[in-house]
Amino acid sequence: MPSGKLHLVPLGGLGEFGMNCMAVRWGDDIIVIDAGLMFPESELLGVDIVVPDISYLIANREKVRGIVLTHGHEDHIGGLPWILSELKVPVFGTEFTLALVENKLDEHQLLDDADLREIRPSTRFILGPFTINPIQVTHSLVDCVALAIHTPLGVVIHTGDFKVDPTPTDNRLFDLHTFAEYGKDRSVLALLQDSTNADRRGYTPSERAVKGKFDEIFARAERKIFISCFSSSIHRIKLAIETAGEYKRKIALVGRSISESTDIALDLGYLDVPEGTLIHAGQIKEYRPDQVCILISGTQGEPMSALSRAAVDNHKHAKIERGDTVVLSSRIIPGNEKGIYRMIDHLFRREANVLYDDGSSPPVHVSGHASQEELKLIINLVKPRYFIPIHGEYRQMRIHADLARSMHGAVGQVLMMESGDVLEFDELGARKIDKVPVGRICIDSGSRGDVVEDLVIKDRRHLSEDGIVLAIIAINKLTGSVESIPEIVMRGFAAGSENGFTQELRKVIATTLDNSTPEEKADYGVIKEKIRADLKRFIVKTTSRRPLIMPVILEI
């Protein structure tokens, strides 16, 4: 066995949900697996995205050979613009993953400088001292791979995200054979496996399990059908389009994210839409309500998304009317409950039939992550010397570790790691040797350079450099009307003559209120976010400064 040391260094995603990123190092060579983001919790006011601290990579920048992506979900690729602006390295991913990456880098004007290299399942490539074999897996997204990384000490298998779906809608099967091959000759040093659903018994249903529910819905609906799912859920979009076709309904796409991902999937042949089936959003009104199905963005109740706006009757093309059916084909991400249920309330007020993931069968949504029996299956096939749970909060990784420990014949040793731990392997064994700095970097997507260490610092910086603008609006709870002229309070921020500027801010608020429906005005979460966004746009445009903006609604 060669002398030398292999290091696994997770920089994010172990012990937290999101921002998956792991460095694999042999001597003077480092490769990085995934570069994800985390969506900020709602308390992170004004912060757009959260990415991992990559000080370790920056300190070793001349050693980094490239970033290898397992699949195109945001928690695996969303941090790329930020990481690539710090490190100029090639990025490896499958065709579909790179198409999503291209879109993302283009938005940040980083595409021209990027070195993107396509990889294919079962086609090995060499990166520094490593030979990497991408293995096809199934998940809620298409074109996903696990990575078998051949190192001088043995093979490290990183599963990426997966479930074992025997009937994926694209018919690209999970490559169980290759996992078994690696296990057969006991060559696997370590298995790093997705823990997201380690606390769920049994098997995760196939993506096709949703078809039964879709059939039920389409058979019953007498008016328009709205289906909302994550824009990356290509399997789900495919099932919706297929079912709409069977029931002779036209399909309209509403919302930027779902239109973009559908375009990519059409381009790459993952979706096949018969000629004349797709219509523009503007054409919806030309058809009878029972002739259309609308795929719409915004399952998480995001205040500015198409579905949230349609729910308060403020979308130009997506009109939700009495008797329409609205399907939320996604899970409720913890932390988003409030916004989602608020949106669902509005949908009920429109007298729509609303279906969401309530545990009934057949399911309206299925998870993309493996449950316990699938996790055990892969462990049995791979028979690793070391097993390390990845991708999950601490309790999920812990349950996953216990599960593996119970499989005596299949696993050597089980090791728990968290983001920042350095796990070292050599001919004598494996041990944690060190800690590297990790953490969350908050980014205001308005400018890539606008990185802040954490929320406290961001608030302080806002206050000290750019000040604060408070807009106090009194709304009559009964009538929904604005009772008096909005009060504007500014601290540490002044522009031109204070009086004149205050007047202009009042005008912005008045315009926002004029353009809002009574229902929006009655929903303080929505109206606050609209006022904040409009004020921010106006203030940045006229002053180039970014004060902390806080609308306050007084109920009277």
140 contacts: CB under 8 Å, gap ≥ 6: 163, 207, 230, 232, 233, 235, 236, 366, 367, 368
Query: Considering the complex, what minimum distance in angstroms separates the CB of residue 92 from Zn ion?
Result: 17
Instruction: State whether the Cα torsion 334-228-342-546 is positive or negative.
Output: positive
| Helix extents (H) in 247-357 | 256-267, 306-311, 337-349
Evaluate whether 441 touches 479 at the Cβ level (below 8 Å): no
Query: Considering the complex, what minimum distance in angstroms separates the CB of residue 73 from Zn ion?
Result: 4
554 contacts: CB under 8 Å, gap ≥ 6: 472, 473, 474, 475
Query: Considering the complex, what minimum distance in angstroms separates the CB of residue 141 from Zn ion?
Result: 6
Evaluate whether 152 touches 26 at the Cβ level (below 8 Å): yes
Query: Considering the complex, what minimum distance in angstroms separates the CB of residue 325 from Zn ion?
Result: 28
Among candidates 492, 525, 544, 142, which has minimal Cα distance to 339? Answer: 525
CA dist., res. 305 & res. 296, Å (int) = 9
Query: Considering the complex, what minimum distance in angstroms separates the CB of residue 35 from Zn ion?
Result: 12
Contacts with Zn ion by CB under 5 A lie at 73, 75, 161
CA dist., res. 480 & res. 438, Å (int) = 47
φ, ψ of residue 229 to 5 degrees: the values are -145, 170
Q: Which is nearer to Zn ion, 75 or 324 (CB)?
A: 75
Q: Which is nearer to Zn ion, 73 or 200 (CB)?
A: 73
Q: Which two tokens stand for residue 31?
A: 């490769």
Q: Which is nearer to Zn ion, 153 or 375 (CB)?
A: 375
CA dist., res. 149 & res. 147, Å (int) = 6
Q: Compute CA distances 524 → 48, 187, 303, 511, 518, whole Å.
A: 20, 59, 11, 17, 11
Q: Residue 472's Cα: distance from chain center in Å?
A: 34
Q: Which is nearer to Zn ion, 4 or 121 (CB)?
A: 121
Q: Which is nearer to Zn ion, 82 or 226 (CB)?
A: 82
Query: Considering the complex, what minimum distance in angstroms separates the CB of residue 145 from Zn ion?
Result: 12
The residue type of 484 is S
How many beta carbons lie within 10 A of that of residue 207, not counting itself?
25
Query: Considering the complex, what minimum distance in angstroms separates the CB of residue 458 from Zn ion?
Result: 26
Query: Considering the complex, what minimum distance in angstroms separates the CB of residue 65 from Zn ion?
Result: 23
Query: Considering the complex, what minimum distance in angstroms separates the CB of residue 96 from Zn ion?
Result: 12
Query: Considering the complex, what minimum distance in angstroms separates the CB of residue 114 from Zn ion?
Result: 22
Among candidates 462, 454, 456, 434, which has minimal Cα distance to 53? Answer: 454
CA dist., res. 117 & res. 91, Å (int) = 6
The structure tokens 């089936």 sit at: 277
Q: Which is nearer to Zn ion, 284 or 370 (CB)?
A: 370
Query: Considering the complex, what minimum distance in angstroms separates the CB of residue 403 from Zn ion?
Result: 19
Q: Which is nearer to Zn ion, 16 or 75 (CB)?
A: 75
Residue 380 burial by CB count (10 A; 0-12/13-18/19+): exposed, middle or buried? middle
Q: Which is nearer to Zn ion, 161 or 374 (CB)?
A: 161
Q: Which is nearer to Zn ion, 71 or 546 (CB)?
A: 71
Q: Which is nearer to Zn ion, 73 or 458 (CB)?
A: 73
Q: Which is nearer to Zn ion, 75 or 302 (CB)?
A: 75
Query: Considering the complex, what minimum distance in angstroms separates the CB of residue 37 from Zn ion?
Result: 11
SS3 annotation, 210-259: HHHHHHHHHHHCCCCEEEECCCCCHHHHHHHHHHHHHCCCEEEEECHHHH
Query: Considering the complex, what minimum distance in angstroms separates the CB of residue 140 from Zn ion?
Result: 7
Q: What share of the chain is helix, strand, coil (3-state, %, to 5)?
A: 35, 25, 40
Q: Which is nearer to Zn ion, 196 or 308 (CB)?
A: 196
Among candidates 149, 150, 171, which has minimal Cα distance to 158? Answer: 149
Q: Which is nearer to Zn ion, 243 or 299 (CB)?
A: 299
Q: Which three-class secondary structure state does DSSP give residue 86?
A: coil
Q: What phi-psi label fits residue 27: left (phi over 0), alpha (psi between -120 and 50 degrees) or beta? A: left
